[in-house]
Amino acid sequence: MNAYLRSVIENVKAKHADEPEFVQTVEEVFTSLEPVVEKHPEYEKADLLSRMVEPERTFTFRVTWMADDGTWHTNTGYRCQFNGAIGPYKGGLRFQKDVNLSIVKFLAFEQTFKNSLTGLPIGSGKGGSDFDPTGKSDGEIMRFCQSFMTALHRYIGPDIDVPAGDMGVGTREISYLFGQYRRLRGAWENGVLTGKDFASGGSLVRPQATGYGAVYYLENVLKHEGEQIAGKTIACAGFGNVTWGICKKATELGAKVVTLSGPDGYVYDPDGVATPEKIDYLVEMRASGRNRVQDYADKFGVVFYPGEKPWGVKVDICMPSAMQNDVHLEQAKQIAANGVKYYIEVANMPTTNDALAFLMAQPGVIVAPSKAVNAGGVATSALEMVQNSERLVWTEDEVDQRLHQIMNNIYQASVDAAAEYGLGYNLVAGANIAGFQRVADAMMAQGIF
Ligand code: GLU
């Protein structure tokens, strides 16, 4: 490996040994950049790569809130403003009990390349809290969001940092956060957050955007292979907003999502999550705050596999859409043995690095990386920012057409970048290189700091 690249990766490993997810993502992305670093010795002179792994700013804050029974609780809030070279920091907030600095930093680092790939002017950030929304009442959620925003509001703004949703943070949470921001700021600045409810300035199609975008990307991959989406079976994980969007669009196009998963196990529905009743039920399950996928099996009479993951099911396409490191080497081997041809990552970093390398080395398997596949969500957030700053509201069709075009562009940019560096049809390396290039150009142009 290129000596400079190797030394930066080794430094990150040594310095951040206590942040395994962050180290994992840096290794994955930077390994793809070898031909680029070889071709651009000026990056080493400017020590560009060391600057790219150091967030511009990261902070934690105290979030204290009152439960319905009058007891007080304190959680940690996080925001990592990773890279602002091409636009205001932009990225979601994750409320989940396991959230820690390593997870926030890995997500913010990935966001740098993802946001760049959209071609829109958005820098990268990520944040959240170790608050566990499971089983919390609406009042508890509202008070938590208000306390969270009271601490965060000074450090964000429509031209500074624009948070959005992620796991555990949907329209309801974003709107509570926005209400508190507006109260504190004393101004109508709805461009400060994206994923708001429609009446507060949210964009049409934003709730569906990540799932729809993933399917639009998938269609590009299938087209390359001379295949069509109609008639295909898809294994998904999770049952949240992203999986819901995939089910909706896949059904509309004649494909069938046959698995869903949760922390409790997975369900297999051979008829597909393919009727309005079933698809709507995902929203209901998420809103219940129970965080159990078994409810789907109970309601629709399908089989529930407690404590298991869906990756042993024979399907045409796997779309891991739940969370990081869901697919380990063992599951990757199972996926390859089942003859799955399309491995389309959707959740951020759903595959361990060894599993990803294994799948990419299988001659019959096409791998697409999450930072490209799920970029439709943040891209539509950027479209929400445009509407907010222009004081306009676009129709569903206008937003959807733009989203579709952006996904086609992301796919093509990835294909072209890999081909330019002699890597063939490599969607993983292509996305890393294309995403890197734009941020690198801006950082080089702006001088060293
Ligand atoms: N959390 C989402 C992501 O991973 C959305 C971010 C946004 O819309 O800013 O990209």
CA distances (Å), origin 41, targets 35, 64, 120, 432: 11, 49, 27, 18
What digits encode the pLDDT tens for the residues 400-440? 999 999 999 999 999 999 999 999 999 999 999 999 999 99
Atom of ligand 1 nearest to the CA of 115: 10
Write out the CATH class of domain 3-189: alpha beta
Name the fold adopted by 208-364.
Answer: Rossmann fold (3.40.50)
Q: How many Cβ atoms from other residues are within 10 Å of residue 322's Cβ?
A: 25
- Does the C-beta of 202 come closer than 6 Å to ligand 1? no
- Does the C-beta of 92 come closer than 6 Å to ligand 1? yes
How does DSSP classify residue 228?
-
Atom of ligand 1 nearest to the CA of 162: 9
3-189 and 208-364, same CATH topology: yes
Q: For the chain, what are the domain ranges? A: 3-189, 208-364
Mean pLDDT over 81-100 rounds to 98
What digits encode the pLDDT tens for the residues 189-218? 999 999 999 999 999 999 999 999 999 999
Q: With 90 as the cut, is the pLDDT of residue 449 above it?
A: no
Q: In what side-by-side order are the strands of the sheet with 89-95?
A: 57-66, 72-83, 124-129, 89-95, 161-164
- Does the C-beta of 91 come closer than 6 Å to ligand 1? yes
**Whole-number pLDDT of residue 408:** 98
C-alpha to C-alpha distance for 111 and 116, rounded to whole angstroms: 8
- Does the C-beta of 378 come closer than 6 Å to ligand 1? yes
**Whole-number pLDDT of residue 397:** 98
Q: How confident is the model at residue 31 (pLDDT cuts 50, 70, 90)?
A: very high
Mean pLDDT over 92-116 rounds to 98
Q: Whose CA is nearest to atom 9 of ligand 1?
A: 91
The enclosing H or E element of 31 equals helix 20-32
What digits encode the pLDDT tens for the residues 32-48? 999 999 999 999 999 99
C-alpha to C-alpha distance for 414 and 225, rounded to whole angstroms: 16
Q: With 90 as the cut, is the pLDDT of residue 18 above it?
A: yes
